[in-house]
């Protein structure tokens, strides 16, 4: 998920988003065994090769639709260079479409923030002018590899005697229904800045990988028919498959399989945690950077979502849905998600024995996760401001937002939540002053803060954490500070330097040392006092997490009961 500048969006759509190959230069080829892949371009300034759209799985179409990914077929007849466009089928809920522009207004432009202005901005915002049924393909299970020239050349000269450099693998967010490895609909995930900093902080820097995975109904359709004749959470299975590709192939580019860091934001931040939880699970990476780790509070689909999807396709079974052409399925997915009520995405990760045996906070609390993984995680100060219905100004309206957004929330649970856990007391003692800020608190805890707390507490204090507090601190705002986003450049250069230094030092050295005004500063671990670094408007400082443990314990008890 990202904010959008409408003028820049129009320009990016009209001009295209894929860079052309460097003309007149012989670009390197890597032999992957099943195919030969050539770099698409070379940046003379950064000295980085980009290998675009490397296939890591077969096209998940026809009989493979709604199933776990399958290994790519051998195809060595021609050298591939990934010049084609590869974006998985997309969908944007109408309610979320109206939140994108306000994020850009209040973050990139520095517009003064208050809740009243935020409500009005969302109500007045136009929907994003993009047709999600266009420009995508089901054949989208591809990844990009960005590698410094000197590293690739060293790997090709000494294929057996070169141990390799660290690898950072990016998993995008988007509520499990939208997004891509390069950004959607604009190419906002440009890794040049973090790769440049990586080479400044170490001799070799690191390799950057970004992956696509299936979204919406294609990746997260669930129900008895899918259990019987398919795979639930196919999108998460795609992610694990992509990480396994990295383990088996990244040495060919000069990367070290045992020095892989997974980095994801929002749905990406939550789903990479799903790859390291479960009894006896071995994560396909050694470190994780989880930004705003998101997961549906009940890891369940809305009642009737599967049946509605088949109805939109005018079929009665999963087998019949597999026989349809892509255009029909893409349209049905786009329309169903587009009509989702506020704070809902319809499709998302669900409880599943193979891929999500329980909610994240439950598994972390039980100690059922790969404890060898080093952890850096973060949250923004106003996560719940994104998942927000500005029209919900009464207790009944807030209750409706909760039941619409969180499946399987019965009347008893709703009464307990509304009367005891988040009571309608607006004197500031509860952390909110009206029903609007109350729903922000509820959704912030339910989707983000409690996952963040559970992860850090499970490491027994060894993890590192930061809080992104640049005003207004809404969900996704930190992405412009993480990547070299040409469409929504960050307002505060120092905050960007601090954030990027933490990420790159962690990826390279396993410790998120900070660079502030050119000076290295110690980044404390979580410890017993919940220490974190808050990156704000006036610099960075060590603070203590204020996530409400009592409320998070209530959410965990709910998850354990389901």
383 is catalytic: yes
CB proximity list for 16: less than 8 A, separation 6 or greater: none
Distances (CA, A) of 23 to 50, 81, 421: 14, 14, 62
Contact 439, 342 (CB under 8 A): no
Task: Tell me the C-alpha distance between 391 and 123, whole Å.
Answer: 8
Element (H or E) spanning 144, and its range? Answer: strand 142-148
In three-state form (DSSP H/G/I as H, E/B as E, the rest C), the secondary structure along 405-455 is HCCCCCHHHHHHHHHHHCCCCCCCCCCCCCHHHHHHHHHHHHHHHHHHHHH
Q: Where are the alpha helices (DSSP H) in 84-233?
A: 94-97, 100-107, 115-124, 149-157, 192-201, 216-220, 224-229
Cis, bond preceding 185 (omega within 30 deg of 0)? yes
In sign, the C-alpha dihedral spanning 351, 356, 357, 363 is negative
Is 400 exposed, middle or buried, given 0-12, 13-18 or 19+ CB atoms closer than 10 A? middle
The rounded distance, in Å, linking the Cα atoms of 258 and 509 is: 13
Alpha-carbon gap, residue 181 to 196, rounded angstroms: 19
549 in catalytic set: no
Catalytic residue (choose from 119, 138, 383, 457): 383
Give the other-Cβ count within 10 Å of 231's Cβ: 19
From the list 52, 107, 180, 266, the catalytic residue is 266
User: By three-state DSSP, how is residue 348 classified?
Assistant: coil
Q: How many Å from the N-terminal Cα to the C-terminal Cα in the chain?
A: 29
Using only C-alpha atoms, the chain has a radius of gyration, in whole angstroms, of: 22
Cα gap 40→46, rounded to integer Å:
15
What is the CA angle 50-53-55, rounded to 5? 130
Dist. CA 506–CA 288, nearest whole Å:
9
> 309: closest CA among 533, 58, 91, 529?
91
Q: Helices 115-124 and 100-107 sit at what angle, rounded to 10 degrees?
A: 140
Q: Select from 16, 56, 66, 65 the least CA-distant residue to 34.
A: 56
User: Edge-to-edge, what's the strand order for the sheet holding 207-211?
Assistant: 41-43, 48-55, 142-148, 207-211, 165-171, 255-265, 287-291, 374-380, 464-469, 531-536, 539-544
Query: DSSP characters for 21-57?
Result: PPTT----EEE-SS-EEE-SEEETTTTEEEEEEEE-S
* 277 vs 275: CA distance, rounded Å: 6
Q: Which residues are marked as active site?
A: 266, 383
């Amino acid at each position: 998920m990202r904010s959008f500048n409408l003028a820049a969006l129009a320009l990016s759509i009209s001009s295209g988003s894929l860079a052309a190959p460097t003309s007149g230069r012989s670009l390197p080829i890597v032999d992957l065994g099943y195919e030969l892949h050539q770099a698409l371009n070379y940046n003379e300034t950064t000295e980085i090769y980009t290998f675009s759209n490397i296939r890591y799985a077969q096209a998940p179409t026809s009989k493979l639709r709604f199933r776990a990914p399958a290994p790519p077929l051998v195809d060595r007849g021609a050298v591939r260079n990934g010049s084609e466009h590869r974006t998985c089928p997309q969908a944007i809920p109408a309610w979320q479409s109206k939140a994108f522009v306000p994020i850009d207004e209040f973050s990139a432009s520095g517009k003064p923030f208050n809740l009243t202005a935020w409500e009005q901005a969302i109500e007045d915002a136009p929907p994003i002018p993009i047709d999600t049924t266009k420009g995508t393909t089901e054949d989208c299970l591809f990844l990009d590899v960005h590698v410094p020239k000197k590293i690739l050349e060293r790997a090709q000269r000494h294929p057996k005697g070169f141990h390799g450099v660290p690898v950072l693998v990016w998993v995008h967010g988007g509520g499990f229904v939208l997004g891509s490895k390069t950004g959607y609909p604009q190419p906002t995930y440009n890794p040049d800045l973090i790769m440049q900093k990586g080479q400044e902080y170490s001799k070799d820097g690191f390799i950057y990988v970004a992956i696509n995975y299936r979204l919406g109904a294609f990746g997260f359709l669930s129900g008895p028919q899918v259990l019987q004749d398919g795979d639930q959470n196919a999108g998460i299975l795609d992610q694990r498959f992509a990480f396994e590709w990295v383990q088996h192939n990244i040495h060919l580019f000069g990367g070290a399989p045992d020095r892989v860091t997974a980095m994801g934001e929002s749905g990406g931040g939550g789903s990479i945690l799903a790859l390291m939880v479960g009894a006896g699970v071995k994560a396909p990476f050694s470190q994780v950077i989880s930004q705003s780790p998101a997961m549906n509070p009940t890891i369940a689909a809305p009642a009737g979502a599967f049946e509605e999807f088949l109805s939109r396709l005018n079929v009665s079974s999963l087998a019949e849905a597999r026989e349809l052409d892509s255009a029909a399925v893409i349209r049905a997915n786009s329309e169903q998600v587009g009509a989702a009520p506020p704070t809902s995405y319809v499709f998302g990760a669900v409880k599943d024995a193979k891929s999500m045996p329980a909610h994240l906070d439950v598994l972390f609390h039980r100690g059922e996760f790969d404890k060898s993984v080093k952890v850096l995680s973060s949250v923004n100060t106003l996560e719940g401001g994104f998942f927000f219905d500005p029209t919900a100004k009464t207790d009944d309206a807030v209750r409706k937002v909760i039941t619409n957004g969180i499946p399987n929330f019965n009347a008893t649970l709703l009464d307990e939540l509304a009367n005891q856990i988040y009571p309608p007391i607006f004197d500031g003692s509860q952390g909110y002053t009206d029903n609007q800020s109350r729903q922000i608190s509820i959704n912030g805890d339910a989707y983000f803060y409690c996952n963040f707390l559970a992860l850090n507490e499970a490491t027994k204090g060894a993890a590192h954490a930061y809080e992104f507090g640049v005003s207004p601190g809404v969900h996704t705002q930190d992405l412009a500070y993480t990547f070299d986003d040409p469409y929504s450049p960050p307002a505060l250069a120092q905050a960007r330097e601090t954030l990027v230094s933490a990420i790159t030092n962690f990826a390279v050295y396993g410790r998120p040392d900070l660079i502030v005004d050119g000076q290295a500063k110690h980044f404390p671990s979580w410890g017993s006092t919940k220490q974190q670094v808050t990156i704000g408007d006036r610099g960075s400082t060590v603070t203590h997490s204020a996530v409400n443990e009592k409320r998070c314990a209530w959410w965990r008890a709910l998850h354990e009961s389901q």
